[in-house]
Amino acid sequence: MPIHVVNEAQRCLQCKVPRCRTGCPINTSIPEMIRLFRENRLNDAGKMLFENNPLSVVCSLVCDHEKQCEGHCILGVKGAPVHISSIENYISDTYLDRLSWSPEPRKGQKVGIIGSGPAGITIAVILQQKGYDVTIFESKEKIGGVLRYGIPAFRLPKEILDRYRDQMRKLGIKIRPNTAIGRSLTVDDMQRDGYEAIFIGTGVWKANKLGIKGESLGNVHYAIDYLVDPDVYDLGDDVVVIGAGNSAMDVARTALRKGARHVAVFSHSHDASASPRELEYAIADGVEIYYGACTEEISDEGVIYRQAEFDDQGNRISLGEPVLMKADSVIVAIGQGAQNRIVSTTTGLEMSSRGLLEADEHGNTTRPGIFASGDVVSGAKTVVEAVNYSKKVADEMDAYLTSIRK
């Protein structure tokens, strides 16, 4: 057992009003988790974590802990907060292979889950335990969605997702890989075959574009495509990443690990939207951050940009002359939106003005019996936010299935 995790657990003050729990988007009972751990009741702590958050081990690695649980720890006011993420990771990673499922008796109702990202996994696990017969339809080779194909392995080891797959199969969840709904099979086909409730959690895989000259050149790529399989790209020595969010940092750090010698990140603002921790890691890896670099054009030689100047409030007050930053490759990382393949093949589903799937606060789409949550509804959000929202949608689906049960 890593001694620093034990020491961190001993530092917890067991606050009567735990600010750490308030800072957790999914309201994890952090003091209870630490208390059970300190009492050598790791299995009880793990059980509690997974019942509250089916993706506990994932969230322990990829959450923005500095803004959430650890950022609210009272010890952080004058010193270092308790490293809650390390404690949760140790417990949940150890407990993952010990999971013992106790599903309710079968209800004889089929549920189809389209997409196996954070939302799809969460709802599949909850509803299978409630007695429904769940099948996941995943368009790619393996489950995980953005967890597998959008987060680098140095942040989230892929073997964790393989262990989740094994546990889901033990629970009785069926998985159909390489099956994209909206192509050969449609939502109508699924309903014909007895799926009484269908959940859409396909994520956001359509890259947002800059809309500037040069974006279609052969040396330009999109972050969401690059992160799926970086090994198929030959970026060269010098790379410019346009965008300064967490995805941009993932791209930049991955490019360095794959052989690039110099990676520059362009932020059009005076700061970066990436979390402080991810920004610090990127800089530590050798990524150079260019603030106020406003891209105007991409050429075969690199990126043409103007340097912005800002006032004390962060407002842009001027732009310099065009400058060429030479680069072998350019990667655009300014977010992504939803693809409309399912919407275009399914009557009754509507898209929002943002190009996302329309759904209410309970996950009901504009077609009865079809639900949605996660990034395809809200846009790119954090994993823990997707899980928290999806727990509510699972309850709504359970209520709907109960109401139509014969």
Residues 74 and 178 in one domain: no
Residues 18 and 73 in one domain: yes
Residue 254, φ and ψ in degrees, nearest 5: -65, -45
Domain end (from 315, 333, 351) = 333
Domain end (from 61, 96, 131) = 96
Residue 351 makes CB contacts below 8 A (sequence gap 6+) with: 338, 340, 343, 357, 358
**What digits encode the pLDDT tens for the residues 391-405?**
999 999 999 999 998
Question: Do the domain assignments include residue 134?
Answer: yes
In contact, 164 and 200? CB cutoff 8 Å: no
Please say if the pLDDT value at position 352 is more than 90.
Answer: no
Range of the domain at 128: 110-205+338-404
Tokens read off for 187: 């939502």
- What letter would DSSP give residue 141? S
* pLDDT given for residue 214 in this prediction: 97
What whole-number distance in Å separates Cα of residue 153 and Cα of residue 32? 30
b/e for 286-325, b at 16 or more Cβ within 10 A? Answer: ebebbbbbbbeebeeebbbbbebeeeeeeeeeeeeeeeeb
What whole-number distance in Å separates Cα of residue 138 and Cα of residue 115? 5
What whole-number distance in Å separates Cα of residue 209 and Cα of residue 215? 8
**% of the chain at pLDDT higher than 70:** 96
Question: Do the domain assignments include residue 125?
Answer: yes
What whole-number distance in Å separates Cα of residue 301 and Cα of residue 271? 26
Strands 293-299 and 302-310: antiparallel
Please identify which residue in the block is written with the tokens 């004889």. Answer: 108
Residue 249 makes CB contacts below 8 A (sequence gap 6+) with: 265, 274, 278, 279, 281, 282, 287
With bands split at pLDDT 50, 70 and 90, how would you rate the model's confidence at 270? very high
What whole-number distance in Å separates Cα of residue 132 and Cα of residue 110? 6
* pLDDT given for residue 1 in this prediction: 47
- What is the value of pTM for the model shown? 0.90
Residues 249 and 227 in one domain: yes
In contact, 290 and 315? CB cutoff 8 Å: no
Identify which of 145, 130, 170 has the alpha carbon closest to the alpha carbon of residue 395: 130
Residues 199 and 348 in one domain: yes
* pLDDT given for residue 355 in this prediction: 66
Residues 189 and 86 in one domain: no
Helix, strand or coil, per DSSP, at residue 29: coil
Find how far residue 294's CA is from the centre of its chain. Answer: 27
In contact, 326 and 302? CB cutoff 8 Å: yes
Find how far residue 219's CA is from the centre of its chain. Answer: 27
Question: Do the domain assignments include residue 169?
Answer: yes
Identify which of 157, 117, 152, 118 has the alpha carbon closest to the alpha carbon of residue 247: 152
Please say if the pLDDT value at position 121 is more than 90.
Answer: yes
Residues 19 and 85 in one domain: yes
Domain count, the chain: 3
- Computed over every residue of the chain, the mean pLDDT equals 93
**What digits encode the pLDDT tens for the residues 293-341?**
999 999 999 999 999 999 998 899 999 999 999 999 999 999 877 666 6
* Neighbouring C-alpha atoms within 13 Å toward the C-beta of 301: 6
Number of H helices, E strands in the chain: 17, 16
Residues 315 and 215 in one domain: yes
**What digits encode the pLDDT tens for the residues 35-94?**
999 999 999 999 999 999 999 999 999 999 999 999 999 999 999 999 999 999 999 999
Residues 264 and 299 in one domain: yes
Residue 335 makes CB contacts below 8 A (sequence gap 6+) with: 204, 208, 243, 245, 247, 379, 380
Residues 10 and 79 in one domain: yes
Question: Do the domain assignments include residue 166?
Answer: yes
Give the CATH number for residue 352: 3.50.50.60
Please say if the pLDDT value at position 353 is more than 70.
Answer: no
Give the CATH number for residue 58: 1.10.1060.10
Q: Is 67 left (phi over 0), alpha (psi -120 to 50) or beta?
A: alpha
Strands 336-337 and 206-207: antiparallel
Please say if the pLDDT value at position 356 is more than 90.
Answer: no
What whole-number distance in Å separates Cα of residue 105 and Cα of residue 3? 42
Residues 325 and 363 in one domain: no
In contact, 85 and 65? CB cutoff 8 Å: yes
Question: Do the domain assignments include residue 170?
Answer: yes
Question: Do the domain assignments include residue 195?
Answer: yes
Residues 46 and 87 in one domain: yes
Question: Do the domain assignments include residue 116?
Answer: yes
Taking the CA atoms of residue 90, residue 94, residue 96 and residue 99 in that order, the dihedral angle to the nearest 10 degrees is -130
Residues 179 and 260 in one domain: no
Helix, strand or coil, per DSSP, at residue 17: coil
Question: Do the domain assignments include residue 102?
Answer: no
